[in-house]
Structure 1
């Protein structure tokens, strides 16, 4: 019998609220199936199961907030399930017995089951389930707002607190002198404060000519329709992932026992969320994904994160993070490590600069890559080699 527990969806997560069960007792599940929605400081997150079996028991009800590691459900594996018995085939009666009347058993009358009165249901069409976060439900009760009349903007139309606030009419928001930070911003503040307090950061920057990468990208996109074209970001992410194969001390986690390198490269993508906040969910096995598929996954991840919907494995699995503000015109960034990771790689915009070409100067497209790294797990010499290797790979895009 397996246990499905409240996952840890961030270094500073201590508890989560179960929003909704997507599977019922008796239903069969397979590894990777989404079976629950959990609300954390990052928002509502779809949680996957990591074993095959059948839901045996739900231990936590929607609306309950429980610590990380608390069992949420029990899952019976295929070995736990009793074997299916073949129905017995009745023997054919002999001719004499067939002539004798058979007494029919008299069944005592059975009282109808007593059904407890149900709580009032939301005003929804039959078969539909109202999806709303606990914070949204609390605010709706406080403001006496019928959630059935509120349009949800969360994952799969779930109603979040902001939706209830927007639905409130005639009650202007009171602005306090001191800003009341939302849960997302508080979580970011806690993680970044811990990072700068506990991690001995060092920073490096490396600027390089990306003429070869830009020319290859132009030729590739000229031969593909808009929906299949690549962005420079796909090339930088793939180049960084491939370089990390050669520099494993930047890909992993630092804990109480020291540094533990990861056997896989799951690149976290720093993505700004609509309405504020930041998330860095992972693209799994980034180094092994072909560029066209990587671009598809990046677009999908950005779209889902900005709608507030991503999966538990995407939040908990990043082994290193990449951040880029090039689309905002930033030439260089010095990012902060997200613990317990030990490195974060940044990419600035591609801009035209005077650049030495042989014995002369020419105007070239130039990019600056940076790294913020944990001096307990690696050092500046290796960090410099890593940045140089990223530049080399990026300017051989046909090999990505």
Structure 2
């Protein structure tokens, strides 16, 4: 038997609110299936299961705010074997400081004067419908017994660029600040920077994108993400986590792409196996990740296992960004804006498109020498864009 627990979705999460179950006792599940929705400062997160089996027992009812690691359900083996020992259901959720994880009611305040009748619906779906003026009686529910889920309400809202429902940006900023303060206290940062000539990358992109429609064009960001991922193959000490006093190498290269949320806030979900993706697939996944981050449609696996973070403020006209490491990761790479400046090429002065590339890394795991090799490898790879 396996115990399905409240997942950890990053260093800035101490607890989460169980919003709804997407499976019920007796339902079969396979690794990667979404089993529940959990509300955090990053929005409503679809939580996946990591075992094959059958849902045996639901231990927590929707609406409970619980610490990371709390048992939520039990899952029997693929044959539905009974549990070796019973786990007591959680009757009264423990108290969690609201400054870290707000309750569902805090994230989605009840509006006045909007009635929704008696259609079965999850609390978060009902509140979102009320906020948006959506009549639940006109919706089709896809939950147990036809209950209306969050996704059902979201499909009814024709606003592709809307902000994540009920996302409390002030709470998110407080949680991020707490995680960054912990990072600066506990992690001995060192910082390096270099300047990268992007003329070859720009020329190659212009050629590749010449006959493509806008939605299929590659962006410089795809090349930068892929170059970081490939550089990690050669210098794996920057790819992984520092836990329990030791470095744990990543089980794959899962680059976390920092995405700003309109109105404030930040998330850095993972693009899994970044080094193995072709540039077109990587670009497609990156676009999808940005859209879902800003709509509040992330999965737990995308938030729980990035092995390094890449951040860029180039589109905000920032020349360089020196990030703070997101624990338990051990490095963060930053790209500044592309700017044309004088540059010496083969002994002659020329004007070239340049980018400031930075690294903040954990001195417990690596040092400046290795960090300089890492930045040099990223630079080398960007000089051969056709090989990415």
Shift of the 272–231 alpha-carbon distance from structure 1 to 2, 3 Å rule, reads same
Q: Is the 8 A contact 1:350 1:367 kept in 2?
A: yes
Point out the more displaced range, 236-245 or 70-79. Answer: 70-79
Distance 2:171 2:113 in 1: 23
- Greater Rg by CA: 1
Distance 2:165 2:276 in 1: 40
User: Could you report, residue by residue, the CA deviation over 1:115-143 in whole angstroms, capped at 9, with x for unpaired residues?
Assistant: xxxxxxxxxxxxxxxxxx722587328x6
Q: Is the 8 A contact 1:135 1:161 kept in 2?
A: no
1:66 aligned counterpart, secondary structure:
strand
Distance 2:309 2:244 in 1: 21
2:307 aligns with one of 278, 294, 319: 319
Shift of the 365–279 alpha-carbon distance from structure 1 to 2, 3 Å rule, reads same
User: Could you report, residue by residue, the CA deviation over 1:314-372 in whole angstroms, capped at 9, with x for unpaired residues?
Assistant: 00010100001111111111111101111000011111111101221011111111001
2:110 aligns with one of 117, 140, 151: 140
Q: Is the 8 A contact 2:311 2:333 kept in 1?
A: yes
Distance 1:343 1:363 in 2: 32
* 1:357 corresponds to 2:338: no
1:36 aligned counterpart, secondary structure:
strand
Distance 1:43 1:274 in 2: 13
Q: Is the 8 A contact 1:251 1:342 kept in 2?
A: yes
| Unaligned runs of at least 5 residues, structure 1 | 83-132, 166-179
Shift of the 213–48 alpha-carbon distance from structure 1 to 2, 3 Å rule, reads same
Q: TM-score, normalised by structure 1?
A: 0.78
* 1:243 corresponds to 2:213: no
User: Could you report, residue by residue, the CA deviation over 1:32-81 in whole angstroms, capped at 9, with x for unpaired residues?
Assistant: 11110011222211100111122121110000112211111111222335
* 1:120 match: none
Distance 2:208 2:107 in 1: 50
CA RMSD of aligned residues (A): 2.6
| Unaligned runs of at least 5 residues, structure 2 | 83-102, 116-126, 135-148
Give aligned pairs, total: 335
* 1:3 match: 3
Distance 1:8 1:152 in 2: 33
* 1:150 corresponds to 2:120: no
Q: Is the 8 A contact 2:48 2:301 kept in 1?
A: yes
2:16 aligned counterpart, secondary structure:
strand
2:256 aligns with one of 268, 290, 312: 268
Distance 1:137 1:12 in 2: 17
2:13 aligned counterpart, secondary structure:
coil
Distance 2:164 2:314 in 1: 30
* 1:60 match: 60
2:110 aligned counterpart, secondary structure:
helix
Q: Is the 8 A contact 2:53 2:78 kept in 1?
A: yes
Shift of the 60–152 alpha-carbon distance from structure 1 to 2, 3 Å rule, reads farther
* 1:31 match: 31
Distance 2:279 2:247 in 1: 30
* 1:71 match: 71
The alpha carbon displacement at 1:152 in A equals 8.1
The alpha carbon displacement at 1:13 in A equals 2.3
Q: Is the 8 A contact 1:56 1:75 kept in 2?
A: yes
Distance 1:41 1:162 in 2: 10
The alpha carbon displacement at 1:155 in A equals 6.4
Q: Is the 8 A contact 1:350 1:365 kept in 2?
A: yes
Distance 2:4 2:244 in 1: 26
Distance 2:15 2:215 in 1: 40
Q: Is the 8 A contact 2:310 2:333 kept in 1?
A: yes
